[in-house]
Structure 1
């Protein structure tokens, strides 16, 4: 188990990573580190019911404290408490994957997380609004944040989350840094993500250019967007999605892949023994589903990954998740990426180790590779827990690139 992930839950990799992920938002007001330590101290390793109970209690406490501060006109404290509530509610809901569409508690926690985030943005100095992005006869939900009300054209960061993130999470984990740099931010939930999944039942698709192109169309229709300074930033699985889109959509000035992914299916294939891959290929679904069930009893992260896959891909069988992810590869298309690209790598990534380097080595465009280190506390997947250092590296690269004549 990667050393950073051991800190909160030494015997449960998934719990350890998700706790570090939640704690990492402390640099943008979304957590208090000591509070996260206290929350985790009350959760037995692997106990998903206790996980939900303690994180929800923390969200409720933060929301109550936010309202108390708001009543006393203590706006900064209320803002940060609402951000903590949003983060903690999202974390509480994380393992509710039996039937999220019909799970009232799952839906309630998701709504609490979104409304808490909205309450926080109401107390920020930025111009924030919920937007609907036209997409294939419907719309995608988004959050548009601007440094001010000026229509002077400037850069915009389009934030693309991953396998389980939401637009609210990426808006405060990445958006705060972008806004301070003077850029606007557009965070959105695409098919398979957040509100688009829960409320519209839009499921993931591997041909993500069909998602990013209308999002860029929407951004370009805004008077305050400089068409030459559009940045696409993909987080986690978003590292595949943005790269796939960039092979067909060339209007961005820069793309940032955190972490870079050439073959998303490898995250599941690495957990599946050779005999399992043979059985999947030859249609032994009942046998494979039985094996998956036994593996889930031993590995919290594997159980969550497959259960989440059933939901986000819109599938009825767990073995079909292992089949579906095989489409999420850049083989045969990545040579078409022309946009300057920053590929980030986390040394101890327990999901997709080695994928950033494989992607980087295959890129033929202008590119840069940065591997953040254990000494910086930045070696976990997507460098969670080291957001300040991560944002510094991304910001330095983008400011240099976007300042070119």
Structure 2
């Protein structure tokens, strides 16, 4: 178990990471660390019902406090409380993966997270709009935040989330530092993510260039975008998705992969014993599904990872998730990435340890690696909880590269 994940829930790696993830947004006013510790103190390890109850109660409390401040004319603290509510509602919903399309509570919590975020942005100085990005006969939902309303062409960051993130989670929490520097920020829900998944039933696809290219087309068509200073950042599974897209889409000035991923399927194969691989390859799907079901009963992270996979990939069988993720590899195409690339590496990544270094070694483009340490508290997946140090490494690199 990663060093940072031994504290809040010593015997449950998944609960510990998700709690750290929620707490990490204190860097942009989306959490209070003491409140997160208090919430966690009331949740028995592995109790998903209690998890939902306590995080939802925290979301309700934050939303109520936000409205109290708003009624008193205190817009600054109302903004921050709305951000906390958005984060806590998202966290409350996280483990509801039995049947999300038909789960009214799951839908209600996601809608609350989304609405609380927009309540917060209404109180910010940054113009914020929801947009539709043309994509294969429909539109991908996106959010644009800008330093001001002028059409002055500015450097722009596209944020590409991962296996379970939403555009509301990432755009301000990861974009605040960009907005402060005069950058525009665009985040979107692609197939398999957020609204595109829940409302449009668009499922993940491994050939992500077919997603990113329309997003780039849309972005560079805006008058306020400097087309020569377009950066794409991939977060978590987005470290694979953006790298894959960049093997075909070359218009970005730079890409940042947090964390870098060469073979996303390794996260699942590493948890599949030799017997499971034999059963999968020899037509014993029923036996494999039974074995996976048994493991899901005692392993919170495995249960969530496979259950979420069935949802985001549009599958009905546990074993098919293991098969599907094997498509998500850069084998045979990594050499086509031409864009200057920063690969970030968190050494205690409990999902994809070793993947950033493998990707970095295979890249042929201009490249750098940003390595983090336990001593600076930045060694967990995506350096969750160490936002200031993460921003420092990214912006040191981007500033030197672009300016």
TM above 0.5, yes or no, is yes
Unpaired segments ≥5 residues, structure 2: none
How far apart are the structure 2 equivalents of 1:128 and 1:173?
14
| TM-score between both structures, scaled by the size of structure 1 | 0.99
Equivalent residue of 1:298, what SS? coil
* Deviation, structure 1 residue 297: 1.6
How far apart are the structure 2 equivalents of 1:281 and 1:184?
48
Q: How does 1:196-235 map to 2 (within 5 A)?
A: 196-235=196-235
How far apart are the structure 2 equivalents of 1:257 and 1:384?
14
RMSD, aligned α-carbons = 0.5
How far apart are the structure 2 equivalents of 1:263 and 1:278?
20
| TM-score between both structures, scaled by the size of structure 2 | 0.99
How far apart are the structure 2 equivalents of 1:394 and 1:282?
45
* Deviation, structure 1 residue 32: 0.1
1:33 aligns with 2:33: yes
Equivalent residue of 1:257, what SS? strand
State the match for 2:327 in structure 1. 327
Equivalent residue of 1:252, what SS? coil
Q: How does 1:128-167 map to 2 (within 5 A)?
A: 128-167=128-167
* Deviation, structure 1 residue 172: 2.1
Which whole-Å deviations, capped at 9, do the CAs of 1:259-306 have from their partners, x for residues lacking one? Answer: 000000000000001121121122211000000011112210000000
State the match for 1:187 in structure 2. 187
How far apart are the structure 1 equivalents of 2:311 and 2:282?
24
Equivalent residue of 1:342, what SS? strand
How far apart are the structure 2 equivalents of 1:81 and 1:366?
42
- Which runs of 4 or more aligned residues in structure 1 lie more than 2 Å from their structure 2 counterparts after TM superposition? none
Which whole-Å deviations, capped at 9, do the CAs of 1:11-62 have from their partners, x for residues lacking one? Answer: 0000000000000000100000000000000000000000000000000000
Counting matched residue pairs gives 403
State the match for 1:363 in structure 2. 363
Which whole-Å deviations, capped at 9, do the CAs of 1:147-184 have from their partners, x for residues lacking one? Answer: 01121111110000000000001112211111111100
1:169 aligns with 2:172: no
Equivalent residue of 1:174, what SS? helix
Unpaired segments ≥5 residues, structure 1: none
State the match for 1:242 in structure 2. 242
State the match for 2:398 in structure 1. 398
* Deviation, structure 1 residue 371: 1.1
State the match for 1:2 in structure 2. 2
How far apart are the structure 1 equivalents of 2:218 and 2:278?
44
State the match for 1:78 in structure 2. 78
